[in-house]
């Protein structure tokens, strides 16, 4: 289980930065960290595979922030917290045979989570197709 590990020991620096930025974004919006904040964190980090893939998907920080302002309360499709996404990222990392959780694993976890389908619909992103594209990029 991932919760037996120190996050700094299992994450790449880009994933750590993205998580830090996600926490800042959530704090600024007065909410707990959810998928929208994780996407903002990835975009703000800017250098990892997760950020690059979000940019390729034409997802901007402004468009994600708009979603935060449209539905600030934890609605049904925004309620999965950071712990759940981290657990899923850890599972992705392990499944792919990688040693550390990277920004790409965080994005895979967000794309895989069916609770986020409304987020991606509003961003005009086919989450399933983009998940496959990212997995192909990673050589899976």
Report the pLDDT value the prediction gives residue 42, as an integer from 0 to 100: 94
What is d(CA 37, CA 41) in angstroms, rounded to the nearest whole number? 6
**According to the model, what pLDDT value does residue 73 have?**
54
The pLDDT of residue 80: 56
Domain ranges of the chain: 2-137
Rounded-to-integer distance, Cα 28 and Cα 101, Å: 25
What predicted TM-score, i.e. pTM, was given to this entire model? 0.83
pLDDT at residue 79, as a whole number = 47
Q: What is the pLDDT along the chain (140 residues), one digit of tens a residue?
A: 444 456 667 888 899 899 899 889 888 888 778 888 888 999 999 999 999 999 998 999 988 888 887 765 544 444 456 677 788 888 888 888 888 889 999 999 888 876 677 788 888 898 888 888 889 888 76
Q: At what angle do helices 127-137 and 103-112 cross, to 10 degrees?
A: 150
Give the Cα separation of 137 and 130 in Å (integer). 10
Q: How many angstroms separate the CA atoms of 122 and 101, rounded? A: 27
Give, in words, the CATH class of 2-137.
mainly alpha
């Amino acid at each position: 289980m991932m919760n037996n590990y120190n996050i700094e020991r299992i994450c790449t620096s880009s994933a750590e930065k993205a998580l830090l930025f996600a926490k800042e974004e959530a704090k600024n919006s007065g909410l707990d960290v959810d998928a929208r904040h994780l996407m903002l964190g990835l975009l703000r980090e800017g250098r990892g595979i997760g950020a690059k893939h979000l940019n390729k998907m034409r997802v901007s920080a402004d468009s994600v922030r708009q979603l935060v302002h449209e539905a600030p309360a934890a609605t049904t499709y925004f309620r999965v917290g950071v712990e759940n996404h981290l657990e899923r990222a850890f599972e992705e990392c392990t499944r792919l045979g990688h040693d550390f959780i990277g920004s790409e694993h965080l994005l895979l976890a967000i794309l895989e989570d069916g609770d986020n389908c409304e987020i991606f619909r509003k961003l005009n992103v086919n989450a399933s197709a983009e998940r496959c594209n990212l997995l192909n990029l990673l050589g899976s």
